[in-house]
Structure 1
Amino acid sequence: MILAIDIGNTNIVLGVFKDETLIANFRLATDHFKTTDEYASIIMLLMEKNNIDIKGVRGVIISSVVPSLIYTFSKLCRKYINSEPIVVGPGVKTGVKIHIDNPREVGADRIVNAAAAINKYGAPVIVVDFGTATTFDVVDKNSCYVGGLICPGIKLSIKALHTGTAKLPEVEIEKPDRVVGTNTIRSIQSGIYYGYLSMVDGIIEKIIDELGCDIKNLSVITTGGLGSIFVRESKYLKVYEPNLTLEGLRIIYEKNC
């Protein structure tokens, strides 16, 4: 079995693969203050409840946008799994050719998503990830990662709206029945939902223009916790892959073993 760990700013997602099949996945809150032993106890308990023997894990791969937690989880792998993890970064084979100004700047999770998307859907492909930030990652027809966009995430936007105003409440994220809200909560929900929907479709249209390709030959993949709520309404978001990053980690692990 392979353990894939994606450390994000808000959540840590773990997936256990048996061969190419994801047999279990878990989501933890990212906590900079938890120790190696605290994370290990939670992970081992979750694996036990899913009837997974941690001794059966033969390898681990990690992607992280939180540098301080790379050491924590690397130590966890050595101490509790007896395995030296592969940490996605410079020197690790990803199968993705990176054509941007400074390849070291791009987040590991974005390259992992690109690797999974290319493997599963080919190129050109756009990956829209609704995480702490909403990111767009672009792979051209030659399978080269050519860059993308980083926008404030939906939850960040809601929090900023709430903390930056005197009377606006923090609302749940959901699709309103109509665009024009008839009360404050519905008005905020509509602004967030339809605002992001229009932003996403508008950005994708501009990316398509820059790539100079036909939408019929382009795949647009959605991932991230909030991606599913936009799939039905969007003009371009038709495929939702909740485990895209975990799949990408498995693919990269195999390339490096």
Structure 2
Amino acid sequence: MTKEKESKRKIGAIDIGNSRAKILINGQVGSFVFNEMLEETIYDFLLNSLLEGKEWDFVKNNSEIEEVLNYLLSNILQQEIILGMSYVNSENKKKIEDIFKHFTGLKLIDIKLIAERQELLKYDLYAGYGIDRALGIIGAMGYSEPPFITVDCGTALTINPVTKDCIALGGTIGACAYLQLDVLQEKAEQLKNVKLEYNERVSGLNTSHCISSGIIHGIAGGIKNIYYKIVEQEFEGNDSLPVFITGGASDLIYRALSDWEVEPVLNKNLVLEGILRLIEREYSEL
């Protein structure tokens, strides 16, 4: 790649989940809930990240922001922005594509197409192994060489071991914190309006405290138990394997693991970093 071409291209990442999307551009990360404010909040983030903190007071509505962003991309920045895109929900993917199609300088690339030919991680030994799980491992490879285990606390709780030969094992999949709360509140009429909050005291003082404690500390205990089972069965009892915790509920679960001798590493954006790593490798070779 020539320096001239390189200067006219930026790369970023977008991770589309079941309840929200996360975008990484210019070193800034934005998280967006799939609700009626989705388009507006993404527009604001794109404008602020591309302007790098400078304020444009004349922007009043979404159509004007579209004009400003397209003008910035084509006339001021003169850069194409390529976003590697991962998704686990096709309906939400369509919503994101409908927003980004307004910008000629922003290009979405399905990261699955690149992941299929990458050589960093072998993850096709198990049918249906999720791309988000693979990307989290690839993101963690930027901090440690395998073997290690990643724990993704999204809608699902996935525990993802990888061997020293960079082979992803099957791991486990369960329901994570917010999904557990949603189901509990849906099925139990009197357990409504609970906000998940970490409390060091495990035994609750009220219903909300009890539910939060049961979910958060229950998940933390499950992670420990599964970790030691996997270490025993797959890694010859090597209980010094590093653990990386990521995902939307990771900060809550991480706090409940604060006394664990394994000392897990918290990084909420491993999937985004995995996408970015693959995109960087792909376009550095052009």
Same fold per superposition (TM over 0.5): yes
Stretches of structure 2 lacking an aligned partner (at least 5 in a row): 1-9, 53-68, 74-78
Q: In the alignment, which residue of structure 2 is the partner of 1:245?
A: 271
3-state DSSP class of the match of 2:83? strand
TM-superposed CA distance for 1:252, in Å, is 0.7
Alignment check: 8 A CA contact 2:176 2:219 kept: no
TM-score between both structures, scaled by the size of structure 2: 0.76
Question: Following TM superposition, by how much is the alpha carbon of 1:112 offset from its aligned partner in structure 2, in angstroms?
Answer: 0.9
RMSD: 2.5
Question: Alignment partner for residue 176 of structure 2, among 153, 157, 160?
Answer: 153
| Distance (whole Å) between structure 2 residues aligned to residue 71 and residue 203 of structure 1 | 36
Q: How many residue pairs end up in the alignment?
A: 244
| % identical aligned pairs | 25
Q: After the TM superposition, which of the residue ranges 125-134 and 51-60 deviates more from structure 2?
A: 51-60
Q: Supply the distance in 1 between the matched residues of 2:83 and 2:273 (Cα, whole angstroms).
A: 13
- Conserved in 1, the CA contact under 8 Å of 2:114 and 2:282? no
Residue 46 of structure 1 pairs with residue 45 of structure 2: yes
Equivalent residue for 1:215? 239
Deviations 1:102-154 (A, max 9, x none): 2xx22221111111112321101111111111111121111111222111121
The structure having more radius of gyration, on CA atoms, is 2
1:84-95 correspondence to structure 2 within 5 Å: 84-90=107-113, 92=115, 93-94=117-118, 95=120
Q: How high is the TM-score relative to the length of structure 1?
A: 0.84
Cα displacement string for residues 232-253 of structure 1 (whole angstroms, at most 9, x for unaligned residues) = 4422352101221111111010
Q: Aligned pair 1:68/2:91, yes or no? A: yes
Within-5 A mapping of 1:4-43: 4-17=13-26, 22=27, 24-30=28-34, 39=39, 42-43=41-42
Bigger proportion of residues as strand: 1
What secondary structure, in the 3-state scheme, does the structure 1 residue paired with 2:84 have?
Answer: strand
Matching residue of 1:114: 137
SS where residue 147 of structure 1 aligns?
coil
CA drift of 1:184 comes to: 2.3
What SS class does the counterpart of residue 188 from structure 2 fall into? coil
Partner of 1:183: 206
What's the offset of the Cα at 1:8? 0.3
1:182, distance to aligned residue in structure 2 (A): 3.5
Distance 2:155 2:255 in 1: 22
Aligned residues of 1:175 and 1:229 also touching (Cα < 8 A): yes
C-alpha distance in 1 between matches for 2:104 and 2:170:
36
Runs of 4+ in 1 over 6 A off after TM superposition: none
Matches within 5 A, 1:191-230: 191-213=214-236, 214-216=238-240, 218-230=241-253
